[in-house]
Amino acid sequence: MSESNFIDYVKILCRSGKGGAGSRHFHRAKYIPKGGPDGGDGGRGGHIILRGNRHMWTLLPLRYRRHVFATNGQSGGENRSTGKDGEDQIIEVPIGTTVFDAESGDFLCEVTEDGEEIKLLRGGKGGLGNWHFATATNRAPRYAQPGQPAIEKAVVLELKLLGDVGLVGFPNAGKSTLLSAISAAKPKIADYPFTTMEPSLGIVDYRGDKSFVMADIPGIIEGASEGKGLGLRFLRHIERNAVLLFMVPADSDDIRKDYEILLKELKEFNPELADKSRVLAISKSDMLDDELREELAKELPEGIPTVFISAVTGQGLTELKDLLWREINSEDNKNNFTITHRKLDTRHRVQEEDDFIFEQEEPEEDDFSNMTDEDWNEEFWDEESTVNPE
């Protein structure tokens, strides 16, 4: 994956800007020796914003942009002039990007639409200048609010491809061959395991004027949830799929057992994947005659629609597309289709990303990062002072 342009997992350090401090300036002009307080407010710190971009298909740009820091707000000035706001930092991400807290693994947000903007980290508010605190009994306040602190957080960004149908199967089950046969996608195809090393999408034409998106992910094996093979790293891409297409080759020793193993690995990754609509395709069926097909039909799992197909000869492909289209548009599927993002854990992390070490700057002298809103008000507002109504 290090040589591929398709990057679906990246860890970055983000920091919003801190708010500028309010000014404690007093007005001074000719013939006005005691002009009173006129210190302006500080500007707010810059936000860290995620923006969806439908023209992007990989998180590769963020691999070379590990630190995303917004600028700080400027301090207030004289004559009640407000300091300049910090510059926001906008992170362009592909549609389908989810964000997790790198420390706790908690899900934070997701970007699902083109142009959608989400404030990942909010910049600190600017402090109020001393003119706000002038009262009849305190006409010359010599204090002002400092700006609120910046927020710093290490986050993990995961890209989950948006597709209607997700292909699930062991290596060499014929998933890539099927995708190339019913769409214009050109995934790598060879006669050895783990040919597919990265997910790919294909648009499948259906009945002339309709279409749906099919996602092919690398094959999984028994024990993948424990890190065997390629592990379950790529299964995040089928969390967004409405229908799961299980593929088991006709020359399998036990089709029912293989299907149950695949289903078990999905449950290990995310138990809610088992609630999605499922279809079973018996690939490489051109090797079977009618008698063998009838024998295999008796051993198939119950309660799941099944079709015999051959991507090489085209056998059963039309029937398969009809079946998938019905499942995608079924009322039960529309009503039950939800996306629940699992919490990150050590089995599903990308080691080379997690080993990345951030060089964080030393905190400044005034560190208010642990203060709550109540502490903020008690510390920097005089209880007897009120905001100047002007």
State what percent of residues in the chain have pLDDT above 90: 25
The pLDDT assigned to 382 comes to 42
The pLDDT assigned to 206 comes to 86
Tell me the mean pLDDT in the region 85-92.
Answer: 95
- Is the pLDDT at 384 greater than 50, yes or no? no
User: What is the residue type of 305?
Assistant: P
Please choose, from the candidates 231, 206, 211, 213, the residue with its C-alpha nearest in 3D space to the C-alpha of residue 221: 231
Q: What is the pLDDT of residues 300-354, one digit of tens each?
A: 888 888 889 888 888 888 898 999 888 888 876 655 555 666 677 655 566 655 6
**Residue 93, strand partner residues:** 52
How far apart (Å, rounded) are the C-alpha atoms in residues 295 and 289?
A: 10
- Is the pLDDT at 208 greater than 50, yes or no? yes
Q: How far is CA 298 from CA 178, 306, 320, in A?
A: 24, 12, 20
The pLDDT assigned to 365 comes to 44
Tell me the mean pLDDT in the region 229-248.
Answer: 75
**Residue 16, strand partner residues:** none
- Is the pLDDT at 386 greater than 60, yes or no? no
Beta-strand runs (E) in 173-316: 200-206, 210-216, 243-249, 277-283, 306-308
**Residue 118, strand partner residues:** 50
345 or 277, greater pLDDT:
277
The pLDDT assigned to 116 comes to 93
Question: pLDDT class for 291, splitting at 50, 70, 90?
Answer: confident
How far apart (Å, rounded) are the C-alpha atoms in residues 44 and 182?
A: 53
Say if pTM beats, i.e. exceeds, 0.85: no
The pLDDT assigned to 141 comes to 92
Do 133 and 143 form a contact (C-beta atoms < 8 A)?
Answer: yes
Please choose, from the candidates 368, 278, 272, the residue with its C-alpha nearest in 3D space to the C-alpha of residue 330: 278
Question: pLDDT class for 383, splitting at 50, 70, 90?
Answer: very low
The pLDDT assigned to 238 comes to 74
How far apart (Å, rounded) are the C-alpha atoms in residues 7 and 198?
A: 9
Q: What is the pLDDT of residues 58-88, one digit of tens each?
A: 888 888 888 999 999 999 999 899 999 999 9
Tell me the mean pLDDT in the region 290-308.
Answer: 83
The pLDDT assigned to 188 comes to 59
Q: How far is CA 59 from CA 9, 49, 112, in A?
A: 7, 16, 15
What is the b/e burial string over 14-48, where b = at least 16 CB atoms within 10 angstroms of the residue's CB?
bbbbbbbbbbbbbbeeeeeeeeebbbbbbbbbbbb
- Is the pLDDT at 369 greater than 50, yes or no? no
CB burial of residue 338 (10 Å; 0-12, 13-18, 19+) = exposed
Q: What is the pLDDT of residues 173-191, one digit of tens each?
A: 778 888 888 887 676 565 5
Q: Which two tokens stand for residue 162?
A: 């948006």
43 or 354, greater pLDDT:
43
Helix (H, G, I), strand (E, B) or coil at 385: coil
Tell me the mean pLDDT in the region 236-243.
Answer: 78
55 or 382, greater pLDDT:
55
State what percent of residues in the chain have pLDDT above 70: 77
The pLDDT assigned to 335 comes to 54
Do 238 and 215 form a contact (C-beta atoms < 8 A)?
Answer: yes
The pLDDT assigned to 380 comes to 47
Instruction: Look over the chain and give the mean of its residue pLDDT values, rounded to a whole number.
Output: 79
The pLDDT assigned to 194 comes to 53
The pLDDT assigned to 196 comes to 57
227 or 373, greater pLDDT:
227
Please state the φ and ψ torsions of residue 133, each to the nearest 5 degrees: -100, 5
Tell me the mean pLDDT in the region 359-371.
Answer: 48
